[in-house]
Structure 1
């Protein structure tokens, strides 16, 4: 069985440190060889490059820009009337990814327009998302970058997010039909929306390009009290020779360092 590879999500972990450069060093000091992040666009790119090199970690995943967070945006890939902004954001994400030698970009779908219902806009938003994903896939293929789409649960985390289940995501990927687009499996979201994790992992394993973990329902460390048996889930992934990264995207109950016993046990 192949050992699993973990990366620290520095948008969630080591937030005791205000500066991303400090978080990269802290992740390396804790034993991580790779990191991921949501948005790094407030950081000066040359400083990020220096910090990554100094820490000796790989950056393995970033997100496309969210749009205007204060106005309620959370990605633009499926949002009506925002295609030009999505492409501009994609260009910026590619610039950062290339500079950081990052080979995966999460192409965020975005939220339903305010005042709309899911049933009224679903077909339009899917068509827009498919079109934007085809454009993104062609652009990313030239750079050797994999695009990812991630379902986010609409029961607890974000009721208006467009892409909310692995089944919906798989259908969209099939319609797009591009080999360099994959499914990002956040176990937290999948459990809340659908459960049935073993069968869903096996069903979608061929198209999974990245995994993220947190306990349910608290979204804390994998070994915290909750619904999920991560020892079993990790063993399942090992048995199927999962080769991608597993992102630690959770809320530490205390300090990040104090909550890393679970991964140190795995590493040893």
Structure 2
């Protein structure tokens, strides 16, 4: 998913292994976090900002929480249950929880993984809900020679085994759209049409797509029209510059202020998370790149 494609895979695997020693977490729901925003925040409040933990892993989670608070928002994506207590200490929302997935390749489109996935996701749905969070990521996995239609049927069958529990516990599952052209060869949910069809078949308010703008620009382009026409299926957004997955600056081809305005105009109330890899030498410059990206997206 990145210029160094194993980085996120390793990060997800590491978070998955530390899941069971959690809980005893105080309930601090997302609604309460808005009240903890810094009083001097200059952000407009139209976009709910977040940042992916793994792209800023040169900082400790404590340091990232402090940076997030200083910039003026209050959410971090892709933190597993074993570190939620750190987020809660800083009043930071876990805007997209992870840890239920074994990796990015072994997903819901392959029946051979269903048994393990069902057990893991049922357990994590409870963990997410008990912690006061709402969003949990999932993946189609790789095709491994199966047709898109067979993959759809398999994903539908497997996900239906956990959706009732997700609905009862108030947790929304978000399947991420990833490109298979550059970063994730053979990934099945690599286009919005496939993901939208899965949403239609499942027909649940607790199943959405994580529309990754970077990935979908590579896979299919036409980002703004796709968002406007299909926003009801998109529950979360990720950003990064194309090409290279770096800063949202003049070196890349996407114009994020227009994309953010399109998202805002749909009435979207979820999170937009920065998931770019800072292409800077010093730690301080990398920190400043996050602040710049948040300002670029704060329409």
Bucket of the pairwise TM-score, normalised by the shorter protein:
0.7 to 0.9
Q: What is the Cα deviation at residue 22 of structure 1?
A: 4.0
Structure 2: runs of 5 or more not aligned: 1-43
Q: Distance in 2 between matches of 1:96 and 1:21?
A: 22
What secondary structure sits across from 2:49 in the alignment?
A: strand
Q: How many residues were matched structurally?
A: 251
Q: Distance in 2 between matches of 1:106 and 1:201?
A: 20
* Alignment CA distance shift 1:2-1:25 (3 Å): closer
1:16 match: 58
Q: Is the 8 A contact 1:76 1:110 kept in 2?
A: yes
Equivalent in 281, 287, 290 of residue 257 of structure 1: 287
Q: What is the Cα deviation at residue 64 of structure 1?
A: 4.9
For the pair 1:78 / 2:104, whether they are aligned, the reply is no
Q: What is the Cα deviation at residue 130 of structure 1?
A: 0.4
For the pair 1:62 / 2:94, whether they are aligned, the reply is no
Q: Distance in 2 between matches of 1:75 and 1:12?
A: 22
What secondary structure sits across from 1:147 in the alignment?
A: strand
Q: What is the Cα deviation at residue 2 of structure 1?
A: 6.8
For the pair 1:26 / 2:67, whether they are aligned, the reply is yes
What secondary structure sits across from 1:163 in the alignment?
A: coil
- Cα offsets for 1:22-42 (capped at 9, x unmatched): 4334333333311111x626x
2:128 match: 97
Q: What is the Cα deviation at residue 78 of structure 1?
A: 1.4
1:180 match: 206
TM-score under structure 2 length normalisation: 0.76
Q: Is the 8 A contact 1:80 1:125 kept in 2?
A: no
2:185 match: 159
Q: What is the Cα deviation at residue 59 of structure 1?
A: 0.9
Runs (4 or more) in structure 1 with deviation over 6 Å come to none
- Across the aligned residues of Structure 1 and Structure 2, the Cα RMSD in angstroms comes to 2.3
Equivalent in 109, 129, 143 of residue 169 of structure 2: 143
Q: Is the 8 A contact 1:215 1:227 kept in 2?
A: yes
Q: Is the 8 A contact 2:199 2:207 kept in 1?
A: yes
Q: Is the 8 A contact 2:106 2:113 kept in 1?
A: no
- Cα offsets for 1:101-128 (capped at 9, x unmatched): 2201112111133xxx3xx443332211
Q: What is the Cα deviation at residue 224 of structure 1?
A: 4.8
- Cα offsets for 1:60-106 (capped at 9, x unmatched): 11235332x5xxx5342112311111112203422441343220111
